[in-house]
Structures are given as C-alpha cells and as structure tokens.
Amino acid sequence: MYNIAVVGATGLVGNTMLKLLAEKQIPIKQLTLFSSARSAGKEVLFRDDPFIVEELTEEKTAGPFDYVLMSAGGGTSHHFSPLFEQHGAVVIDNSSAWRMDPEISLVVPEVNPPSLSRGIIANPNCSTIQSVGPLNILSEAFGLKRVAYTTYQSVSGSGQKGIEDLKRGERGEEPVNYPHPIYNNVLPHIDVFQEDGYTKEEVKMIQETRKILNLPDLPVTATCVRVPVSSAHAVAINVTLDKETSVQEIQDLFEQNPHVILEDDPKQNLYPMPVNAFGKEGIFVGRIRKDDSLPNTYHLWTVSDNILKGAALNAVQILELLINRKEK
C-alpha cells in the first residue's frame, strides 16, 4: 500500500487521475490532494469519500509520499517536483517542465518504459502520446524515415479555461483564454510562437517524438491547430518508412497490437472521431492509405481522449508499471 499525492486535484487532468486511481484499484494507504491557494479547502470525492484539498507548500512536500502525480503546470512542477524527489517520492509530472531534460525519462509505457535515474518521470504532450503509439509499431516493423504531423486539438487540452472559452463563444461572448474566438473557428496557434515561426506545441511534438522513439535524428515536422471540439484530439500523420510495405500489412499490424484500436473501413464510413473516442482509453487509428507523392509513404489518422491516454491515463499507467516492478 502506498502514500500517494495528487497535485492539481481540482483540475481536469488531476480529477480524472483520481477516477482512474479508484477504477484501477491502485493500493493506496493514504491519499493527499493538493491545489493552489485558490481551491484550498474545497471538497473532492474519491471512491465516494470526501477529501479536503490542501494548498501545496514547500513544507508539505516532506509527506512522506511514495508517488506524486503532478498535474499543475510547468512553473509549479519546476519548483515543487525536486522537493518531493529530495524527500524520497517518485514524481510523475504532466507538464512540459522536465520532458526534454536528458536525465528525465519521457514515458509512454508501451513504447519506452522508464529508467529510474531520477525521482521525476515526465508524461509526454497529449498529441505526442497518441502519435508515438502507432509510430512505434511502424518503427519496429519498417523503420521511420520522416514524420509530418497536423493536429486537430480539442479545447480541453487547455484545461478548464479552454472549455470555458468554447462555452463563452456559444453564448456570443468574447474569449478570455484564446487570442481569438474558438467557437465556429480554428486557430493555427497552440502555446507561444518561437522566433522561427513554429509554436512551442509544435516544437514539443517534434522533440518529444525523437526522444520517446529514441531516434534523435529523425526528421519530424508539425502544425498544431486548436479546433472547437470539447474533448479528444485528432492527429493526421504522414510517415515515410525505411522499408516497403502495404496498407494491408500496416492494418494487420495495428489489428494485432493491443495498444491501438484499428477503425478503418471507409466503405462503411468507419474512421476514428472525437465523439467516439471521448471517455475511452485507447488510441484509435484509421484512414490508412498510401501517399503516392513520395516512396514508402503513408497517411494515418489517430484520435484519442487527450485527458485520458493523452494525460491522466498515461500517468496512471506509468504508476502501475512502477508499482508492478516494485512488487515483483
């Protein structure tokens, strides 16, 4: 049985983590829930029992905690994760604060299980997780030569404030979170712009893909787009492979793999969509077709619930993996 803390327990991801901890019957001795001062004192339910959320302070990082699920933004993680780590906890962090640190494992459990050189493990970006799952299967079978992403990311990827902006737009009100209305609109802009014209979200997808797949020189490019969908992201992937294959062979590989769900029957109008992926745990893949403009190149379309596999579920799967290793 373990002492577990959830930081950001009042947020979209943190709250979903609590549901998953209960569903997956993680053996918990003591559960501690943290937020900022804004929500301190609020009641949150876990397995139908009320828990009072506490403000996270430096003193409280002493716990003792075995595992900390951190889901409270990069600044909070930068400050508090090393303190939890110093006190002996293993932190699984959802922000981008540690992902590209060479000492920190950036983990999708079915792709690259963590090494434990540090007591902080990073959970990747949501769109990256649902892309590297299928790409790793292709990489192992055929090798990868180049990847180009275009994302269609839901507003819940911006947390509660993204959902509120979509609702504001539906009511005819101005946005607060996004620079333009998201309702009836599409924004080619996620996170801040860099000097070279890419956004930070695009850079995250490029760098994290290389790190997770352990292909540091893989040519990867990305365009990240926010769409007026509440939940579940879609990613169009154009991938060039090292070896020749066929659409049928790729479909067969996905069908046999327990970590992706193939939904690919265009004649029946069957392809992955956010409305179907919402609330489900898998990475859905479809629209697999050959791109005749380049040799050995294919299009894929992946959809996954960004709060589940894109965030909370992947973090809880990392936790399960660590617990299983310990109990072996």
Ligand X SMILES: NC(=O)c1ccc[n+]([C@@H]2O[C@H](COP(=O)([O-])OP(=O)(O)OC[C@H]3O[C@@H](n4cnc5c(N)ncnc54)[C@H](OP(=O)(O)O)[C@@H]3O)[C@@H](O)[C@H]2O)c1
Catalytic residues: 126, 233
Residue 7 vs 108, nearer CB to ligand X: 7
Distance of CA 148 to the CA centre of its chain: 19
Residue 200 vs 287, nearer CB to ligand X: 200
DSSP symbols for 285-316: EEEEEE-TTSTTEEEEEEEE-TTIIIIIHHHH
> Coil, helix or strand for 99?
coil
CA–CA gap between residue 193 and residue 224 (Å, rounded): 11
Interacting span for ligand X (CB under 6 A) from 30-38, 107-115, 188-196, 295-303: 30-38
CA–CA gap between residue 124 and residue 314 (Å, rounded): 9
Is 130 among the residues that bind ligand X (CB under 6 A)? no
DSSP 313: H
Is 240 among the residues that bind ligand X (CB under 6 A)? no
Whether the Cβ atoms of residue 99 and residue 122 lie closer than 8 Å to each other:
yes
Is 10 among the residues that bind ligand X (CB under 6 A)? yes
CB of 77: closest distance to ligand X in angstroms?
Answer: 7
Whether the Cβ atoms of residue 106 and residue 122 lie closer than 8 Å to each other:
yes
Pairing of strands 120-122, 90-93: parallel
Instruction: Determine the size of the site formed for ligand X (CB under 6 A).
Output: 29
- The partner residues of 49 in beta bridges, in order of sequence, read 46
Among 4, 31, 83, 126, binds ligand X (CB under 6 A): 126
Is 203 among the residues that bind ligand X (CB under 6 A)? no
Among 32, 95, 257, 317, binds ligand X (CB under 6 A): 95
Query: For ligand X, what does the binding mask look like between residues 53 and 92, x meaning CB under 6 A?
Result: ---x--------------xxx--x----------------
Q: How many residues does the chain have?
A: 328
Amino acid (1-letter code) at residue 211: K
Under the rule (CB under 6 A), what is the footprint of ligand X?
7-14, 34-36, 38-39, 56, 71-73, 76, 94-95, 126, 156-157, 159-160, 306-307, 310-311
